[in-house]
Amino acid sequence: MFRVFGVAAAIAAILSLAILGWQGLGLHLGPTFDWVLTSYEKQAARFFGLLEPLIRPALDALAAVTGWTLSLQPHWKHVVVLLWLNIGAESRNAWRMGDKGYSVFSGLVGLVIALVASIASGLFTLDHPLSSAFVALFPMFGYLCWAFAALAFHATNFSSGFRGRAPPRMWWSVFYSGAKYSFLRFSVGVTFVLIATTWSYISGQVISGLAVLGVWIAFFALYWLATGALQARDEGKSVFDNADFQHGWIMLSTIAGAIGLLSLGVAGI
Give residue-wise pLDDT tens across range 165-212.
556 677 788 888 889 988 998 999 999 999 999 999 998 888 888 888
Give residue-wise pLDDT tens across range 183-195.
998 999 999 999 9
Average pLDDT estimate for 5-19: 74
pLDDT of 16 above 90:
no
pLDDT at 4: 59
pLDDT of 85 above 80:
no
Q: Residue 63 belongs to what H/E stretch?
A: helix 52-66
The model's confidence at residue 3, banded by pLDDT at 50, 70 and 90, is: low
Question: CA 247 to CA 105: how far, in whole Å?
Answer: 17
What pTM did the predictor assign? Answer: 0.84
Give 206's DSSP letter. Answer: P
Asked whether the beta carbons of 139 and 82 are under 8 A apart, the reply is: yes
Asked whether the beta carbons of 90 and 247 are under 8 A apart, the reply is: yes
pLDDT at 194: 95
pLDDT at 82: 80
pLDDT at 165: 56
Positive or negative torsion for Cα 119, 71, 216, 8: positive
pLDDT at 183: 92
DSSP character string of 163-203: SSSPPHHHHHHHHHHHHHHHHHHHHHHHHHHHHHHHHHHHH
Average pLDDT estimate for 75-89: 81
pLDDT of 164 above 60:
no
pLDDT of 161 above 70:
no
pLDDT at 245: 85
Lowest-confidence segment of 45-49, 62-66, 205-209, 243-247 by average pLDDT: 45-49
pLDDT at 159: 59
Question: CA 179 to CA 227: how far, in whole Å?
Answer: 16
Average pLDDT over the chain reads 82
pLDDT at 136: 92
Lowest-confidence segment of 3-7, 33-37, 76-80, 97-101 by average pLDDT: 3-7
pLDDT of 255 above 80:
yes
Question: CA 123 to CA 72: how far, in whole Å?
Answer: 5
The residue among 112 and 72 whose pLDDT is bigger is 112
pLDDT of 40 above 60:
yes
Question: CA 16 to CA 18: how far, in whole Å?
Answer: 5
CB 237: neighbour CB atoms within 10 A? 12
